[in-house]
Amino acid sequence: MNTSTIEIRVRYNECDPMGVAHHATYPIWFEMGRTEHLRSQGRLYGDIENEGLFFVVVDLHVQYKKSVKYDDVLSLATVVEDCTPARLRHSYVLTKENEVIARASTTLACVDSKGVVHRFPESLVR
């Protein structure tokens, strides 16, 4: 299955003077979604780094639909849209009580510790 869902509770420090979660917090949540999606497939991102490979974000697109507040409980669905040897694309839907808060997508590349581009591990490519 290529979708996984996690629950996120908005932290106080993640909110700004408008009283809502700051927009730069969302990419952090999406990264948590990727971590848990990998885990749901029996992989740990930490293991991948220990093997000398790093996944770097090369493209990020977020559409913010509604704001959320401190202590709100959100649901984040993370989907692997595509994985070629060169690119790993995810999409995200963040909801609160079934209302869409944000939609987003990221594209990742795979590099080694010196920043040299590598192919994604075979097990992730479909």
48 versus 77: smaller Cβ distance to a second copy:
48
Through-space distance between the first and last CA atoms of the chain, rounded to whole angstroms = 12
| CB neighbourhood size of 20 (10 A) | 18
Active-site residue flag, 16: yes
Q: Cα separation of 20 and 66, whole Å?
A: 10
Give me the least distance between CB of 79 and a second copy, in Å please.
19
The amino acid that residue 121 corresponds to is P
Q: Should residue 5 be labelled a site residue for a second copy when binding is judged by CB under 8 A?
A: no
| Contact code string over 10-49 relative to a second copy, x by CB under 8 A | -xxx-xxxxx--xxxx-xx--xx--x--------xxx--x
| Contact code string over 51-80 relative to a second copy, x by CB under 8 A | ---x-xxxxxxxxxx-x-xxx---------
Q: Should residue 119 be labelled a site residue for a second copy when binding is judged by CB under 8 A?
A: no
Q: Cα separation of 111 and 55, whole Å?
A: 6
Q: Residue 38, SS3?
A: helix
104 versus 126: smaller Cβ distance to a second copy:
104
